[in-house]
């Protein structure tokens, strides 16, 4: 019995000794770590490895950030050139800044970066990358539009109003009223004149100043009298008013230099003349910017060569002849 008891006591002694040694080793390890880190200012090997990797990733993100700066600067230069040159050449409006710089929806779109990116480098890089992607997409769509207009540049050149609507040679017509404010011939008050008046004898041919489609043919007794509106596309329209007779119908395609009818004195008019307007995107612009009055009669004849004669058109569409309003 005594022998058995001795065995039990020796076993307990070993357990206590082992536990004591384990506790001492823990204390020594903690003391070692404290001295290593706090007193000597050194790092544990694993911590040093992690910090080194973290520094490498931060360095890579900084390099990425510099590349994003370069991409942003290049894209901004392309946007400026697009608005100031390419879109301007084709008469296109600038893309609004709020469209180019529009962000992405979702308040918590980048929230998951907060869990692993305490200094915010990854989150900032992700936001900038998304913004550049969006800007690049908008710019690519803009270039697509410009490329399409460039492809249609030949058609556009034919459609934009570019010749006088009547033969401008001396002795045949004169400018009786220019674009802008003038004294109204009926009321005597200052009023904006939305076109140019060509004073000439009644019955002279009136020509389309660019390719297009006849949009309006109508008569206004107290207004423009017999008038034709041609839609040239690309934002341009022209109006020819106070005509004696009209030789085209709505929906008819016309070419530059094609006769629309004869000049006259219909509607609210103080004498025989052609009132000519140019509209761009719904706004009246100065027609004088779209023709050259210095051309000779021979040069003008070349411009309108091959177009149907006014008499032929009037014969084709007699319903638009001879209506006249108050002079």
CA distance linking residue 204 with residue 172, whole number of Å: 9
* CA 101 – CA 131 distance, rounded (Å): 7
Cβ count within 10 A of residue 179: 21
| CA dist., res. 115 & res. 117, Å (int) | 6
DSSP type of residue 321: B
Extract the tokens encoding 8.
């039990």
Question: Where are the CATH 2.70.70.10 domain residues in the chain?
Answer: 163-320
- The CATH class that applies to domain 163-320 reads mainly beta
Phi, psi for 173 (deg, rounded to 5): -160, 165
Strands 283-285 and 273-280 turn out to be: antiparallel
Share of the chain residues as helix, strand and coil, in percent rounded to the nearest 5: 45, 20, 35
What tokens appear for 118 in the block? 């305490």
User: Would you write out the chain's pLDDT as a tens digit for each of its 327 residues?
Assistant: 566 666 666 666 676 667 666 666 776 676 666 665 565 455 556 667 777 787 777 788 788 888 888 888 888 888 888 877 777 767 777 888 778 777 665 557 777 776 666 677 777 888 888 888 888 888 888 888 888 777 777 788 889 999 999 999 888 889 989 898 877 776 778 788 899 999 999 999 999 999 999 999 999 988 899 999 999 998 899 999 999 999 999 999 999 999 999 999 998 888 899 999 999 989 999 999 999 888 888 888 888 865 545 445 444 444 444 444 333
274 within 8 A of 230, measured Cβ to Cβ: no
Give the per-residue pLDDT at 36.
56
Q: Which pLDDT score is estimated for 34?
A: 62
Whole-number pLDDT of residue 325: 39
Pull the structure tokens for residue 214: 């006849």
For residue 215, the number of C-alpha atoms closer than 13 Å in the C-beta half-sphere is 12
């Amino acid at each position: 019995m005594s022998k058995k008891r001795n065995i039990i006591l020796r076993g307990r002694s070993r357990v206590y000794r082992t536990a004591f040694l384990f506790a001492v080793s823990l204390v020594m390890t903690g003391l070692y770590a404290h001295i290593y880190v706090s007193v000597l200012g050194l790092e544990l090997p694993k911590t040093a490895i992690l910090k080194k990797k973290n520094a490498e990733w931060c360095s890579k993100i900084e390099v990425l950030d510099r590349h994003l700066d370069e991409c942003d600067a290049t894209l901004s230069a392309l946007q400026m050139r697009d608005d100031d040159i390419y879109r301007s050449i084709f008469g296109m409006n600038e893309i609004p800044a709020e469209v180019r710089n529009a962000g992405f929806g979702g308040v918590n779109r980048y929230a998951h970066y907060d869990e692993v990116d305490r200094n915010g480098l990854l989150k900032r890089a992700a936001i900038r990358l998304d913004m550049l992607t969006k800007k690049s997409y908008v710019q690519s769509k803009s270039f697509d539009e410009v490329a399409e207009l460039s492809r249609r540049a030949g058609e556009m050149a034919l459609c934009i109003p570019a010749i006088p609507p009547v033969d401008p040679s001396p002795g045949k017509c004169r400018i009786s009223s220019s674009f802008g404010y003038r004294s109204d011939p009926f009321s005597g008050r200052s009023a904006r004149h939305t076109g140019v008046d060509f004073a000439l004898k009644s019955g002279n041919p009136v020509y389309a100043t660019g390719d297009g489609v006849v949009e309006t043919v109508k008569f206004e007794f107290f207004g423009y009298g017999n008038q034709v509106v041609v839609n040239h596309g690309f934002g341009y329209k022209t109006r020819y008013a106070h005509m004696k007779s009209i030789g085209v119908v709505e929906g008819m395609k016309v070419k530059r230099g094609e006769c629309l009818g004869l000049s006259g004195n219909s509607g609210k008019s103080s004498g025989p003349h052609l009132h000519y307007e140019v509209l761009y995107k719904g706004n009246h612009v100065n027609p004088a910017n779209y023709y050259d009055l210095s051309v000779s009669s021979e040069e003008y004849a070349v411009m309108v060569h091959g177009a149907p004669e006014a008499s032929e058109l009037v014969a084709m569409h007699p319903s638009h002849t001879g209506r006249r309003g108050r002079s």
